[in-house]
Structure 1
Amino acid sequence: MTQEMLVLEAEIREALGSANARRLRRSGRTPAVLYGKKKDNVHLSLDTRAFADVLRHHARVLTVKLPDGSSEPAVVKEIAWDELTDEILHVDLTRVDLDERIHLEVGIELVGDAKGVLQGGMLQQLLHEIEIECRADAIPEALKVDISELGIDDVLRVADLPLPDGVRALRDADELVLHVLPPKRGEVVEEAEAASEPERIGKPKETDEG
């Protein structure tokens, strides 16, 4: 499933600098810049809640609506976060043509429970995101992978990922995405001992002493 094209209204940001950016964020707006396609950079402010909604929809390409009534498709290129508060500090948007092929990262979403995990194994996921190439108007929300048939010691590689038509993975085809590890040796021994120990029914028989 490709991502829905969301519309985000923006205002022109006249006052620049860190102090003005802080005042802007306190007012409920997020500083941003729109650049690319050999056009002038445009300093913008975005409604913070509206942009948070864009992130909740995992949208990467959106329509930026400017105050003069014009609109430009753009990719969310980079987001600067405050490491302490998780507040969005700044957003970089780059112009894009919807029919051009772009590079970006999408998430790898696991579906189901691996058979090997149900047998006591442990799932180790090495790749949670992967860089892909696709048309700007055909970005998948995520790469969904059914792992229910994976047994102990089974692996999933980049080559095994289900890629939609027109999408190309930009990682080595043999790179591991995940691995179903066998149970730890101690756990196997304990389970075997528990299985071989006879069940005790009732109280232990008392013995006479002396």
Structure 2
Amino acid sequence: MASIQLKVAKRDAKNTKVSDVRRQGFIPGVYYINGTESVPITSNFKDLKSIVFTSLTNVVDLEIDGEENRKCILKEVKFDPITDEILHFDLMGLTPGNKIVVNIPITLIGQSVGVRNGGILNHVLRKVKVRCLPKDLVETIEVDISKLKIGKLIKLDEIDLGDLEVVVKGNAVIAGVSRPRVATAGTTIEMDDDEDEDSIGEEGAATEGGEGEAGE
């Protein structure tokens, strides 16, 4: 997978307050790797936004004060609850051979036959927490929905994830196509589908012979 370059500077955490760092126009952060001491760092918004405001999982080539690049991923970002400004960021270093836990986004590809026939697509599960080696990281998990019919579901355990190990087990629903509804004379009528076995509720909840919910 492709990586993103990021240059940062070391931060004197003992003698400089994070509020002072922000007033100077920089964003405080920390780089850490399991088993070693963390390194306080700073970045600017222009350089940081490409790894924060993305739906993909990216490997970051981190350069600290001109030192040799270190492979890492963005582990956590804190935002101001009022202004949505970035307050702090955490970068976790990657070590070959050591597995990590990370959320990978799910991307639906193709146009389902159900949608072409008038159904409504419900994308329920948008990311999944997995455990894997750094070399097996992917930007996104692509799920082909081209054969998805009205009233049918695609579930997580039906997808080949390769070397990605799902952390939270369960038969979560990724996506489904619900029946269209036609309003006539003030009455809403569901379009029938003779192959219906599973269905998606209006709010994206999965139902199998009854009502149930599927979340991320």
Tell me what 1:19 maps to: 19
Q: Which residue does 2:209 correspond to in 1?
A: none
What is the match of residue 108 of structure 1?
106
Aligned match for 2:44, one of 40, 43, 47: 47
**Structure-2 separation of matches of 1:124 and 1:68:** 47
Q: 1:76 to 1:189 in 2, by over 3 A?
A: closer
* Distance of aligned partners of 1:49 and 1:98 in 2 relative to their CA distance in 1, 3 Å threshold: farther
Cα deviations across residues 85-106 of structure 1 (Å, max 9, x unaligned)?
3321110112220332211011
Q: Equivalents in 1 of 2:68, 2:137: separation in Å? A: 24
Max radius of gyration: which structure? Answer: 1
Aligned residue for 1:51, secondary structure, equals helix
Task: Quote the sequence identity (%).
Answer: 23
Q: 1:170 and 2:138 equivalent?
A: no
1:185: Cα distance to partner?
6.0
> What SS does the aligned partner of 2:31 have?
strand
Q: How many Å apart are 1:44 and its aligned residue?
A: 0.4
Aligned equivalents of 1:148 and 1:123: distance in 2? 11
Q: How far is 1:129 from its partner?
A: 0.6
Q: Which amino acid aligns with 2:44?
A: D
Distance in structure 2 (CA, Å) of the matches to 1:112 and 1:36: 38
Alignment of 1:70-109 (within 5 A): 70-109=68-107
Alpha carbons 1:158, 1:172 under 8 Å: kept: no
Q: Deviation per CA, 1:39-80, whole angstroms, max 9, x where unpaired?
A: 222110013212212346635332221226243322211011
- 1: CA distance, partners of 2:111 / 2:97: 37
**Mapping 1:55-204, distance limit 5 Å:** 55=52, 58-67=56-65, 69-163=67-161, 165-184=162-181, 186=183, 189=189
| Distance 1:59-1:185 versus aligned 2 partners, 3 A rule | closer
How far the C-alpha of 1:37 sits from its partner, in A, is 2.5
Displacement of 1:173 after TM fit? 4.8
- Is contact 1:34-1:43 (8 Å) kept? yes
TM-score, length basis structure 2: 0.74
Higher helix share: 1
Give me the TM-score of the superposition, normalised by structure 1. 0.76
Contact 2:125 2:172 in 1 (8 A): no
**Displacement of 1:8:** 1.5
SS across alignment from 2:37: strand
How many residue pairs align between the two structures? 186
1:36, distance to aligned residue in structure 2 (A) = 3.2
- The alpha-carbon deviation at position 9 of structure 1 amounts to 1.3
> 1:37 corresponds to which residue?
34
What is the aligned-residue RMSD (CA, Å)? 2.6
Question: Does the CA contact (< 8 Å) of 2:180 and 2:190 recur in 1?
Answer: no
